[in-house]
Amino acid sequence: MTDHDAAYRSGWLPPAPPTAPQEAERPARDDAQRAFGDRRRPGWRRSGSGLLAALAALLAKGKALLLLLPKLKLLTTSGSMLVSVAAYALIWGWKFAIGFVLLLLVHEMGHVIQLRREGIPASAPLFIPFLGAVVGARSLGDDAAAEARVGLAGPVLGTLGAAAVMAAGFALHSELLQALAFTGFFLNLFNLIPVTPLDGGRAFAAMAPWMWFVGLGVIVALAFARPNPIILLIAFIGALDVYRRWQALRSGDPAARAYYRVTRGQRLAVAAVYVVLVVALVVGMDVTHLARAISDA
């Protein structure tokens, strides 16, 4: 008699719960199945069906991911835009930050549209706070003229976007929109500095090689006059790119020579668009400039 049974009989405890049957009391059939396995379904078939189920689930998930890829790209662009808006809002406030990021988007879409017109698949813009935005593409065109068209397309559409904001600012008497237009004009003018990775450097790929060094000299002079990390980074990248282009031409590589073989008409067209853009942007900045009132201390 166990202690529990004794306590029960003395009236101190309720009856003990029934215990599970012992192994020895199980049917012999169960012992045989444990000893020899289930003969009705071989082990390899059981494990194989589990593997097939897992594989099917994996393929289903993979198919779902493929269907979601366009949405993921959209999420990447919109997500990076939100991060940029939050970053710029810390400096300028959220209203100006939203307008500035939208102007960047218009500028970058100019590159995307032209790349696709050249038959080159281009990704949606990816925004990087305080550095602008980038567009992914396998190349910038088949030759330097195509590279110039892609490079100038951003400032062309960006200038039109800033002009639209300027018109809205004057119509609504909004200094916020006027300031945004000024910033948009300046942004596109800065991008026309003739050195890569800026758009002006892409345009100058179609110009005479000696002009590459002129553009590099401009950015180097600007780096000394107004030193800051971004200008210094652009000057460094520009120097590497000019060296790479010059070495490719001097090597006599037929592919390089074919790439930079641009007709006189193409060079004149690139130069004309470039000059018109510079003039329009300078005038736009002058028209939208807001004089800051300085109060006496």
Q: What pLDDT shows up at residue 100?
A: 94
pLDDT in tens, 218-270: 889 988 888 888 888 889 999 999 999 999 888 888 988 899 999 999 999 99
Q: What pLDDT shows up at residue 48?
A: 46
Q: Work out whether strand 126-128 and strand 132-134 pair parallel, antiparallel, or are unpaired.
A: antiparallel
| Spatial distance between the Cα atoms of 166 and 185, rounded to a whole number of angstroms | 10
pLDDT in tens, 90-100: 888 899 999 99
> Mean pLDDT, to the nearest integer, of 182-192?
94
71, two tokens = 């949405």
The domain locations on the chain are: 43-288
Cβ of 112: how many Cβ atoms within 10 Å? 23
Contact criterion met (CB below 8 Å) for 290 and 179: yes
Assign 21 a pLDDT band (cuts: 50, 70, 90).
very low
Assign 203 a pLDDT band (cuts: 50, 70, 90).
very high
Q: What pLDDT shows up at residue 10?
A: 39
Q: Assess whether pLDDT exceeds 60 at residue 22.
A: no
Assign 78 a pLDDT band (cuts: 50, 70, 90).
confident
pLDDT in tens, 112-138: 999 999 998 888 888 888 777 888 778
What HEC string does the chain produce?
A: CCHHHHHHHCCCCCCCCCCCCCHHHCCHHHHHHHHHCCCCCCHHHHHHHHHHHHHHHHHHHHHHHHHHHHHHHHHHHHHHHHHHHHHHHHHHCHHHHHHHHHHHHHHHHHHHHHHHHCCCCECCCEEECCCEEECCECCCCCCHHHHHHHHHHHHHHHHHHHHHHHHHHHHHCCHHHHHHHHHHHHHHHHHCCCCCCCHHHHHHCCCCHHHHHHHHHHHHHHHHHCCCHHHHHHHHHHHHHHHHHHHHHHCCCHHHHHHCCCCHHHHHHHHHHHHHHHHHHHHHHHHHCCCCCCCCC
For the chain, percent of residues with pLDDT exceeding 70:
72
Q: What pLDDT shows up at residue 75?
A: 54
Any bridge partners for residue 126, and if so which?
134
| Spatial distance between the Cα atoms of 283 and 287, rounded to a whole number of angstroms | 6
| Spatial distance between the Cα atoms of 100 and 107, rounded to a whole number of angstroms | 11
